Amino acid sequence: MPAQRVLFLCTGNYYRSRFAELLFNHLAPQSAPGWSAFSRALAIELGGRNEGAISAHTRTACRQRGIPLAEPVAFPQGAAEEDFAAAHRVIALKEAEHRDYIRRRFLAWTDRVEYWHVHDLDAAAPEDACAQIERHVRFLIAELAKVDVR
């Protein structure tokens, strides 16, 4: 069981945070074996139009990178205080979108969360957003690989 955990957050836990989680867990064993990731939604109630357990864009990005998906794929999960407490690093995928949710729902964590700037489908093509997430995740893993987790 990995000793250190990264929590990825996005609005619905359907697309960006799920891709970050899956990619991280696919890549980390080789470079940062003491780490694993999980993901949660900050406003799961907004995902009413989602079809299925995970975005088709996430499935495509995983398939293109050779990342297997365990079937059945779990449905999105909303964030809880326990999730923040269980994580050693907490990353929200887009500061402009997520900081206010964190401030309103998890006030004590507002300034303890790391914020990336990955746009959702309203402002970025899925290929571009997933490529940006991949760059961030690879950089994060390289950073974590330098940390002795024992």
State mean pLDDT over 78-82. Answer: 97
pLDDT score of 42 = 96
Question: Which domains, and CATH codes, for the chain?
Answer: 4-145 (3.40.50.2300)
pLDDT score of 50 = 78
State mean pLDDT over 83-98. Answer: 96
**Widest CA span of the chain, in angstroms?**
43
User: Which strands make up the sheet holding 114-115, listed edge to edge?
Assistant: 35-41, 4-10, 89-92, 114-115
pLDDT score of 1 = 46
Q: What is the pTM of this model?
A: 0.92
pLDDT higher than threshold 90 for residue 117: yes
State mean pLDDT over 80-101. Answer: 96
Residue 57's closest CA among 115, 130, 123, 144? Answer: 130
Selected residue with higher pLDDT from 58 and 1: 58
